Structure 1
Amino acid sequence: MSDELADEVEAINSIYGPNTLIPYTDQASNPQSPIYILTFPKPEEDAATSTPFTASLRLHFPPSYPSDPLTILGVHSSGSHSKPGAAVRDLNLFSAAVGDVYEPGQVCLFDAIEKVKELLLQDTTAAAADVEEEDTPDEVPSSPTTTEEKEPPWTLSSPVVELKSTFIARCASVSSPAQAASYLQHLLSNDKKVRAATHNITAWRIHGPNGTSFQDCDDDGETAAGGRLLHLMQLMDLWDTMVVVTRWYGGQKLGPRRFAVINAAARDAFVNAGLVPGVGNEAVSSKKKSHGHHGK
């Protein structure tokens, strides 16, 4: 197994739960070319419109992964409460997601999982809108959706694993401190994995009216990390932007190294969002967005 795959397995299980990606033990597989079972994360308990991804899938990773793509061998389990055809739907969704996000030399499972969540959200939102349109009389206007109720336009970094701690950064454009605060609150309220993380370090810089400006940060228990994150934004001359770096602590202290990892994850999110001048389109084309979705 390559180091990249080992780190990816660790990151996926840190983010989505310890049994999300496990070895397929019912066969004597080549450890250099393993087969894993991916049990897709269940929808958030408070996401009433979520459509559950019911199947678990068998994935084969060649020795050359991630230089060469993984292979989806098929459905491992269709789930005890799945509807007819749901397993095939889930298999097709994940296959399409892998095909969309995979780039040679880059691990892709995190991006593929997030892509499937995006596709499921689009499908269920459309279905809910159809039901609402059918059930709502023409004379009763529907309530408008406020900006705060909508999913913030997050752009995500790739997961970074360092001594079993996992880090993910997400950034978004913001126009006021109140909006930045509402985006953070939305994230913590709607993503229980992020809410349960050890730290959610935040920084933002915003141009205000009449030449005013606002900038602030929050360590969230990771002493001095917020200030260093804000300093990175100052060095990069980023404005009207916020960033949240989430850390799931892995049990081993990183010491001062953690600050470099936190800033590297943040910079990756900024690059994916197209905020770093001089970076080629190949980085921007791998942009990862969440449409809802790691020392001491």
Structure 2
Amino acid sequence: MSEELRDELEAINSIYGDGCLVPSDDANIYVLQPPGESSSLRIEFPPTYPAVPPVVLGTNSTGDRGKRGDAAREFSLFCQALSAVYEPGTVCLFDAIEELTRLLESEASDENQDQDTTPENEVHTSAAAENVVHAHDTHALEIPEPPWILSDPFIEQKSVFIARCAHVSSTEEAEVFVQHLLASDKKVRTATHNITAWRIKGPNNTTFQDCNDDGETAAGGRLLHLMQLMDLWNVMVIVTRWYGGHKLGPRRFALINQTARDAFVKAGLVSENPNKKKSTGKG
């Protein structure tokens, strides 16, 4: 097993729960059980992965929770998701799972729009039942999905860090992006910390910058300081941490900034070579 695959295996099971990705009896073949009620899939990881993509072999013949027709549809959707997110040399399973979730939710939304005979007293949403989407979040859910660029997962002692960055043009837009993410993504909403920072240039040479520790004392300020050093403007970042049960001490701040920087690099906001002059965020 390559180091990249070992780290990805740990990350996937840390984020989605133990048993989400487990080895099978066959070499290099793993069983993926996506979150929700999706059918499980058999995936082969070639020894040279992630230089070459994984191969989706089919649905798992035992323990499948979905119907045969659903399994075939979900297999097709996962292949579509994998094709959309894979880039040579970069692990891709987290992005593929998230894209599969998006595709399934999109299909479910289309099906719901076609059904107009449901009695009003039977209509409900899990978010409302969990009391996590409040009235002030309604506007956030109505906007399109923010154009997030995601970092790779960073893992240390079972703590998992993932960063998202996006271009923003106002503090109002940044706040709505945060609300949209928390209202629409349960895994992020229930994470240990969601640390945010943004820097925005307004009209008449006004500037705005802010941060939120979300319980991780001083982390937001350090994240904002990183953006200042990079001279990034009209950009926001959210670093999500799932606590792994082991205290990391000051090392956690380096991991938070490292994860954020990876998202900035993937967004094309900063050079991967630290010796090169850092580029600025676009207005």
Q: TM-score, normalization: structure 1?
A: 0.76
Q: What is the deviation of 1:69? A: 2.9
Structure 1 pair 170–75 and aligned structure 2 pair: CA distance change class (3 A): same
Instruction: Specify the alignment match of 1:176 in structure 2.
Output: 170
Q: TM-score, normalization: structure 2?
A: 0.79
C-alpha separation between the residues in 2 aligned to 1:153 and 1:67? 26
Tell me the alpha carbon deviations over residues 47-92 of structure 1, each in whole angstroms, 9 at most, x when there is no partner.
Answer: xxxxx6x21011122333323332222111584453x522111112
Q: What is the deviation of 1:125? A: 4.3
Specify every segment of 5 or more residues in structure 1 that has no aligned partner in the other structure, as ranges. Answer: 43-51, 133-144, 280-296
C-alpha separation between the residues in 2 aligned to 1:147 and 1:13? 29
Q: Tell me if 1:70 matches 2:68.
A: no
Specify every segment of 5 or more residues in structure 2 that has no aligned partner in the other structure, as ranges. Answer: 117-137, 274-283
Structure 1 pair 146–190 and aligned structure 2 pair: CA distance change class (3 A): closer
Instruction: Specify the alignment match of 1:12 in structure 2.
Output: 12
What amino acid does structure 2 have at the position aligned with 1:58?
R
Q: Tell me if 1:89 matches 2:61.
A: no
Q: Tell me if 1:235 matches 2:229.
A: yes
Instruction: Tell whether the 8 Å contact from 2:197 to 2:237 is kept in structure 1 after alignment.
Output: yes
C-alpha separation between the residues in 2 aligned to 1:70 and 1:62? 6
Instruction: Tell whether the 8 Å contact from 2:49 to 2:89 is kept in structure 1 after alignment.
Output: yes
Q: Tell me if 1:110 matches 2:122.
A: no
Instruction: Specify the alignment match of 2:205 in structure 1.
Output: 211
C-alpha separation between the residues in 2 aligned to 1:102 and 1:274? 18
What amino acid does structure 2 have at the position aligned with 1:22?
V
Instruction: Tell whether the 8 Å contact from 1:57 to 1:73 is kept in structure 2 after alignment.
Output: yes
Q: What is the deviation of 1:128? A: 4.9
Instruction: Tell whether the 8 Å contact from 1:37 to 1:76 is kept in structure 2 after alignment.
Output: yes
Structure 1 pair 184–163 and aligned structure 2 pair: CA distance change class (3 A): same
Of 231, 253, 256, the match for 1:262: 256
C-alpha separation between the residues in 2 aligned to 1:81 and 1:260? 42
Q: RMSD over aligned Cα, in angstroms?
A: 2.4
Q: What is the deviation of 1:40? A: 0.9
Instruction: Specify the alignment match of 1:153 in structure 2.
Output: 147
Greater RCO structure (CA 8 Å; 6+ sep)? 1
What amino acid does structure 2 have at the position aligned with 1:118?
R
Q: What is the deviation of 1:147? A: 6.1
Instruction: Specify the alignment match of 1:251 in structure 2.
Output: 245
C-alpha separation between the residues in 2 aligned to 1:67 and 1:176? 39
Instruction: Tell whether the 8 Å contact from 1:148 to 1:179 is kept in structure 2 after alignment.
Output: no
C-alpha separation between the residues in 2 aligned to 1:120 and 1:187? 18
C-alpha separation between the residues in 2 aligned to 1:91 and 1:57? 7
C-alpha separation between the residues in 2 aligned to 1:81 and 1:174? 40
Greater CA drift, 270-279 or 185-194: 270-279
Q: What is the deviation of 1:242? A: 1.1
What amino acid does structure 2 have at the position aligned with 1:2?
S
C-alpha separation between the residues in 2 aligned to 1:278 and 1:256? 24
Q: Tell me if 1:202 matches 2:177.
A: no
Matches within 5 A, 1:111-130: 111-128=95-112
- Count of residues in correspondence between the two structures: 250
